[in-house]
Amino acid sequence: MRIIKKAVLFLMFAFSALGFQQLVLADSNDFSVTPVLTENQNPEVPSYFDLTVTPNQKQTLKIKIKNNSNESVKYKLYVNTATTNQNGIIDYSINNFEKDESLKLSLKDCLTLTEQLVDVPANSEKEVSLELSVPETPFEGIALGGITVEPSIEKGSNGVNNIFTRTLAIQLTETAKKISPKLEGGEVKVSQENLRNNVKFELRNITPTIISKVNAEIAITKKGNKNPLLTQTKDQLNFAPNSKFNLMTEWDKQFDPGDYTYSINLTDGEGNKWSFSKKFKIEAEIAENLNKTSVDRKESFFEKYFIYIIGLLSILFIVFALLMLNRYFKINS
């Protein structure tokens, strides 16, 4: 009986400890970030900064951080230029990335934070300033980026924390001139993400405009085959201005060495179309190394030679049917 009581007490303590941890993690998510809108703000956009600016303009922007928790929280702030990630999503949180050669104006270079670590008391809010400095040289299209705010939380004993961030987009324009979007295609490479084999195709948005609501039709064909080995459709993709990225396509199986052709057709929300076709090769050594660590399913002998097996069985069936018919006619003649 004493052992049972101890076990019950231990379980109660364990569950209460888990509940406490969950409460702390929930508190880290209990905050909001809003812009303090200015006179040069686009009146149709209330949720982020969409500013019309002029060359050499200096301006102070402000945001409000509201801490809705019952404890004082420190928040880290950082500004980034927008880029596009491998899933075709505009990302404002990547600090260091390879910039495209077409990027003339990086938003990160135009903004300076007055504070990078802000302490906000419980159930209160605080304003933080950013100093905007527009270059003297005029620019076309848009400059896009964002300010990200996240709680400054020490890592737990297991080194893992659920940290929730808030990001406010910042978009600068000088003129209303419409920019025609242009995409360029690069090379194809094979890689692995989270132990899963994939193929990545480099795409470049070389124009200072967002290419949005993009639909992508992808087909990969092995040399000597008429039908694609792999097809995939991606929709609602968005590409940041003047960004290059590697669009990922899941392979979903072990790599087979050989020569392939990667084809992609893209259509954006305005009806603009682009098509690219690139040949690439999977080397035997690279395939072997990636397959060793891949969790993708390996094709069975039957799956690999399915079409040949079906063809052989069909021929055997026809031969057998002809033999039976021949025997039938001999017996009845």
Where is 199: in which H helix or E strand? strand 196-205
Q: What is residue 163's predicted lDDT score, i.e. its pLDDT?
A: 77
**Is residue 25 included in any domain, yes or no?**
no
Are 207 and 167 contained in the same domain? no
Look up residue 183 and give its amino acid: L
What does the pLDDT average to over 165-184?
95
Are 163 and 58 contained in the same domain? yes
Are 250 and 119 contained in the same domain? no
Cα–Cα distance between 258 and 197 in angstroms, integer? 15
**Is residue 21 included in any domain, yes or no?**
no
Query: For the CA atoms of the chain, what is the radius of gyration?
Result: 29
Burial of 132 (0-12, 13-18, 19+ CB in 10 A): buried
Q: Report how far apart, in Å, the C-alpha atoms of 217 and of each of 80, 189, 212, 272, 330 are.
A: 31, 18, 15, 14, 57
**Structural domains in the chain (count):** 3
What does the pLDDT average to over 26-31?
63
Encoded tokens for 294: 């891949």
Domain boundary among the residues 153, 173, 193 is at: 173
Encoded tokens for 222: 């092995």
Q: What is residue 1's predicted lDDT score, i.e. its pLDDT?
A: 46
Q: What is residue 8's predicted lDDT score, i.e. its pLDDT?
A: 37
DSSP state of 332: T
* Closest listed residue to residue 83, CA positions, set 96, 74, 71, 72: 96
40-89, pLDDT tens digit by residue?
999 999 999 999 999 999 999 999 999 999 999 999 999 999 999 999 99
DSSP string, 61-102: EEEEEEE-SSS-EEEEEEEEE-EE-TTS-EES---S----TT
* Closest listed residue to residue 90, CA positions, set 238, 286, 303, 272: 238
**Is residue 6 included in any domain, yes or no?**
no
Percentage helix, strand, coil, to 5, in the chain? 20, 40, 35
Q: What is residue 235's predicted lDDT score, i.e. its pLDDT?
A: 96
Contact 91, 48 (CB under 8 A): no
Share the mean pLDDT of the chain. Answer: 86
Where is 301: in which H helix or E strand? helix 301-304
Domain span at 322: 301-333
Are 196 and 147 contained in the same domain? no
Domain boundary among the residues 144, 173, 202 is at: 173
Q: What percent of the chain has pLDDT over 90?
A: 71
Are 248 and 266 contained in the same domain? yes
Q: What is residue 311's predicted lDDT score, i.e. its pLDDT?
A: 80
Are 107 and 223 contained in the same domain? no
What does the pLDDT average to over 122-140?
96
**Is residue 161 included in any domain, yes or no?**
yes
Are 48 and 145 contained in the same domain? yes
DSSP state of 269: T
Q: What is residue 4's predicted lDDT score, i.e. its pLDDT?
A: 42
Are 146 and 51 contained in the same domain? yes
Are 220 and 322 contained in the same domain? no
* Closest listed residue to residue 213, CA positions, set 239, 177, 232, 231: 239
Are 117 and 227 contained in the same domain? no
Are 200 and 286 contained in the same domain? yes
Where is 7: in which H helix or E strand? helix 2-27
Residues 6+ positions from 48 with CB-CB distance below 8 Å: 35, 146, 168, 169, 170, 171
Are 311 and 244 contained in the same domain? no
**Is residue 333 included in any domain, yes or no?**
yes
Query: What CATH number corresponds to the domain at position 168?
Result: 2.60.40.10
**Is residue 96 included in any domain, yes or no?**
yes
DSSP string, 26-66: HHTT-EEEEEE--TTB-TT--SSEEEE--TT-EEEEEEEEE
Domain boundary among the residues 120, 151, 173 is at: 173
**Is residue 111 included in any domain, yes or no?**
yes
Residues 6+ positions from 333 with CB-CB distance below 8 Å: none
**Is residue 98 included in any domain, yes or no?**
yes
Encoded tokens for 218: 């992808």
